[in-house]
Amino acid sequence: MSRVTYGIHAVDSLLRQRPGDIARLCVLKGREDRRVQALLTLAANQGVRIDRLDKRALEAMAPGRHQGVAAELSAEVDRATSTALAWQEPDLLQALDRAESPCLLLVLDGVTDPHNLGACLRSAEAAGAMAVVVPKDKSAGMTPTVQKVACGAAEVLPLVQVTNLSRTLKALRERGVWVYGAAGEATQSLYQQDLCAPLALVLGSEGKGLRRLTREGCDALVQLPMAGSVSSLNVSVAAGVCLFEAVRQRHAGSV
């Protein structure tokens, strides 16, 4: 079965980034608002086939919150090229070796909710991260839900699924990347760290946090100072705070 991408932002990004991969654009019959018209115009300009489907057919194709649009990839494209941004560890390490400026990576340890993964991808792409790294086991992977929540980031930002996260963190450190893990019990504040060097920010699941071996693979553990009564933030919110503190420091350093 072909893979389906749905939602206004995800489909728009796919049309702009990889229109040749799309077998057809499916639009809900009767949907004629401005955002859908913009997609139809873009698809027509790119030579993408357009099909109008009734509500039942579209929901069978895209069972999530599709917003009236879904893009279907052909089976051949799905196998051959749709995973172009689904890197493996060697791809990441090669990119690091070629990097001309300090990298920024987001590492997620045990984040299983696809909505959180999608939101993290969106924040990481907006912050200019090189990639998002996740373990293959006990972690959310790329799904249509992740793509939709990521609002186009999943089409341009590599998701690196690794077999052994601890080994990957070791490989990053060997290449001069500083690895900072976020943990509520840490004694050092994120805002006390120099985040301008090559950097990997590591966040764990909301319930269990970082696993022991992941913690041991970090150069330091840091925490976000909490002024209110809640003890922690949603992982996607925490990821955004950490990423954009690195962005702030790097922009300040370049002024």
114 or 10, greater pLDDT:
114
pLDDT of residue 149: 87
**pLDDT band per the 50, 70, 90 thresholds, residue 84:** very low
pLDDT of residue 231: 66
Rg (CA), the chain: 20
Average pLDDT over residues 48-63: 90
Range(s) of the chain covered by CATH 3.40.1280.10: 89-254
Q: How far apart are CA 194 and CA 250, in angstroms?
A: 9
- The tens digit of pLDDT for each residue in 153-167 reads 887 889 999 999 999
- The tens digit of pLDDT for each residue in 171-215 reads 999 999 999 999 988 999 999 999 999 999 999 987 788 999 999
Residue owning tokens 């022991």? 212
pLDDT of residue 182: 95
Q: What is the mean pLDDT of the chain?
A: 88
**In the predicted model, is pLDDT for residue 27 greater than 70?**
yes
Q: E strands of the chain, at which residues? A: 4-6, 22-28, 50-53, 69-73, 104-109, 131-135, 159-162, 178-182, 188-189, 199-204, 220-223
pLDDT of residue 106: 98
Q: In the CATH scheme, what is the homologous superfamily, with its name and number, of domain 89-254?
A: SPOUT methyltransferase, trefoil knot domain (3.40.1280.10)
* Whole-structure pTM value: 0.75
Q: The domain 4-80 is classified under which CATH number: 3.40.50.1820, 3.30.1330.30, 3.40.1440.10, 2.30.30.220? A: 3.30.1330.30
Angle between helices 89-98 and 165-174 (to 10 degrees): 10
Q: Which are the contacts of 183, defined by CB distance < 8 A and separation ≥ 6?
A: 204, 209, 210, 215, 221, 222, 223
pLDDT of residue 227: 77
pLDDT of residue 83: 41
Q: How far apart are CA 52 and CA 23, in angstroms?
A: 14
Range(s) of the chain covered by CATH 3.30.1330.30: 4-80
**Percentage with pLDDT > 70 across the chain:** 93
